Chains A and B, each alone.
Chain A
Amino acid sequence: MSPFKKTKQYSYYWLLLGIFILAGESSAGGISVDAGLTPAENRWMIRVQSRQMGATSQPSTPTRQMKMQAKVFMAAYGLRPNVTLIGMQGLMNREMTMMGAVNESSGLADLNLLIKYLIHRTNTRHQTLGIAATTKFTLPTGEDGFSDDYWSFTPGVYLSLRRGTWAMDASTTFRIQDIFSQQDAMNSGWEYTLDGAIARQLPLDGLKNIALAPVFEINLLIDQGDQSSSAEVSDAESVVFLSPGFKYTYGSLILESLVQVPIWEKIPTTSLEKDTRWRIGFRFMF
């Protein structure tokens, strides 16, 4: 039996590792979803996604590894043509290995509530341009080990351009953690994301309700986790993902998959390096 499982210090370390991974997973890509274009009034969309991710210790440090699978459920409703309400809930399963000891746990993550407001949209014969702003609140409803235990606020701006069968999306968000200062002796962290995506809708021959769209994304994530107020050096982590994928649309059903490959990473020596991530899921609109 490893003492690792019993000590408070390691439990805290595990918890921190898990929350850092969770924080990073709350954004970082998967944006080619008409983000700057709000859906029609009175239209519902449900989205289910399975995300596989992991992180491994750097070669110069003791062996540690984390694997996580998240099932994310999302419901969106077009309240008005320019206002969309979105709710998002994740169910997490995490396996952490450290010095041969394995700890596996699962539970509900924090609930995310979003409002998306369409700032501008023009539709012409040749192109569609949409710009939308979002405000996201993260509520500390998750189970122990899967919750930040505080409220966070994430404003964002999304831009979508459609030209013929080409689709381009860009977005940027800034997450402000612990907006009500619920943590003692801690400096609240933040998270910045910048994403770009390009895709092309390829209508399949003679089938006007079916299209295949190769997708290519690039995602930047800078994550400054919560730090002890006595910490003197920032432990912010930065990572860039290149992400090829596809969307297959059959009427109101969309199947989607994405592989996120970390191509550049700047992290403290004690942090884990992010592994390649996978996302697969579907969307249905009605």
Chain B
Amino acid sequence: MNKYKLIVILVIVAILLMSCGSKPESALPEAWADRGEIRVYEVFGMDCPGCHGGLEKQLNALEGVADSKADWTSQQVMVLIDSGVEVSDANIHEGMKRANFTPGKRLK
């Protein structure tokens, strides 16, 4: 075992672990303009970019939800509701729970 190689590997990993990441801003998808009501919810439990797919899949399966976009960095999800359709917050929350996440406040 070359101990020096191991030390170098450890130092590189430590530097990468300690380096900073940035938090990009959420943006409204252009295709959503004038298509219906747009809601924004807090949602807790997303910890990587891959998490949003599971949440969006659950929300998009709900009756009346046209589309959704989740952002793990801001812990928010935007939901586009079809025009003229009533979708309760409770239904949205149920979709979040099926994705193993916890609903927060409705922000918009």
Contact = CB atoms under 8 A, between A and B. Distances in A.
Interface stretch (A58-66, A119-127, A146-154): A119-127
A32 to B, nearest CB: 11
Interface stretch (B28-36, B78-86, B100-108): B100-108
B57 A201 contact: no
A41 B99 contact: yes
Given A40-B58, A203-B22, A214 B49 contact: no
Given A39-B54, A198-B17, A203 B23 contact: yes
A202 B13 CA distance: 13
25 contacts: A39-B54, A40-B54, A40-B55, A41-B99, A43-B99, A81-B99, A118-B100, A121-B100, A123-B101, A125-B44, A162-B47, A198-B17, A201-B48, A206-B24, A207-B24, A208-B49, A209-B49, A214-B17, A215-B13, A216-B10, A244-B12, A250-B49, A251-B53, A259-B9, A283-B50
Contacts of A121: 45, 100
Interface in B38-85: 42, 44-45, 47-50, 52-55, 57-58, 71-73, 75
Contact of A124 (B26, B48, B98, B102): B102
B90 interface: no
Contacts, number: 127
A252 B12 CA distance: 27
Interface of A: 34, 37-43, 78, 81-82, 118, 121-125, 128, 162, 165, 167, 198-211, 213-216, 242, 244, 246, 249-254, 259, 261-263, 283, 285-286
User: Does more than half of chain A's interface fall in helix, strand or loop, or is it mixed?
Assistant: strand
A86 B54 CA distance: 17
Contact of A202 (B6, B19, B58): B19
The winner among A42, A254, A286 for most chain B CB atoms within 10 A is A42
A259 B75 CA distance: 32
Nearest to B47: A162
A265 B45 CA distance: 38
Interface in B1-22: 1, 6, 9-10, 12-13, 16-17, 19-22
- Residue from the set B22, B45, B101 with the largest chain A CB neighbour count within 10 Å: B45
Interface residues of B, number: 39
Given A42-B57, A207-B24, A200 B16 contact: yes
Contact of A81 (B9, B47, B98): B98
Contacts of B22: 203, 205-206
B6 A203 contact: no
A40 B100 contact: yes
Contacts of A125: 42, 44, 75, 104
Contacts of A286: 53
